[in-house]
């Protein structure tokens, strides 16, 4: 089994990696960050995915780290419509009920050029 830069499989894969939208812009964002903000009933333990820690710690960061944890912000070289992440949360020990405003989560995504 072999492959080369001239094969149709390589060319199709390469073209798909650099898909463009109707305006001719790449369907990806560069130099991206994602920040998680939570209500007092939740704390972020970490994220599973292709990212690096932003080393930003605040009251919504759990003492327990899972995946890339110890922060509420993560950095990405690029994001595409196919980028998948898993955010892991804990219910705060101070709260026995998990209702209302205490269970809110906000995901803030910032990045450079993109069109999707």
Q: Is the pTM of this model over 0.85?
A: no
- Predicted confidence (pLDDT) at residue 55 exceeds the cutoff of 90: yes
- The residue whose two tokens read 């020990």 is 93
Please compute the mean of the pLDDT values over residues 80-109 and round it to a whole number.
Answer: 79
Q: Which domains does the chain possess?
A: 26-110 (2.60.40.1670)
Q: Give 98 or 27, the one with higher predicted confidence.
A: 27
Out of 16-25, 34-43, 98-107, which region has the weakest mean confidence (pLDDT)? 98-107
First to last CA, the chain: 37
Which helix (H) or strand (E) is 13 found in, with range? Answer: helix 8-17
């Amino acid at each position: 089994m072999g492959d080369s830069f001239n094969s149709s499989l390589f060319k199709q894969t390469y073209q798909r990696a650099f898909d463009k939208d109707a305006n001719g812009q790449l369907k990806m964002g560069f130099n991206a960050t994602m920040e998680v903000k939570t209500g007092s009933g939740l704390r972020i333990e970490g994220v599973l995915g292709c990212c690096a820690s932003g080393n930003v710690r605040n009251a919504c960061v759990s003492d327990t780290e899972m995946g890339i944890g110890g922060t509420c912000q993560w950095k990405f070289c690029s994001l595409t419509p196919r980028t998948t992440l898993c955010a892991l949360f804990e219910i705060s020990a101070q709260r026995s009920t998990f209702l209302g405003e205490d269970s809110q989560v906000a995901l803030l995504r910032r990045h450079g050029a993109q069109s999707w």
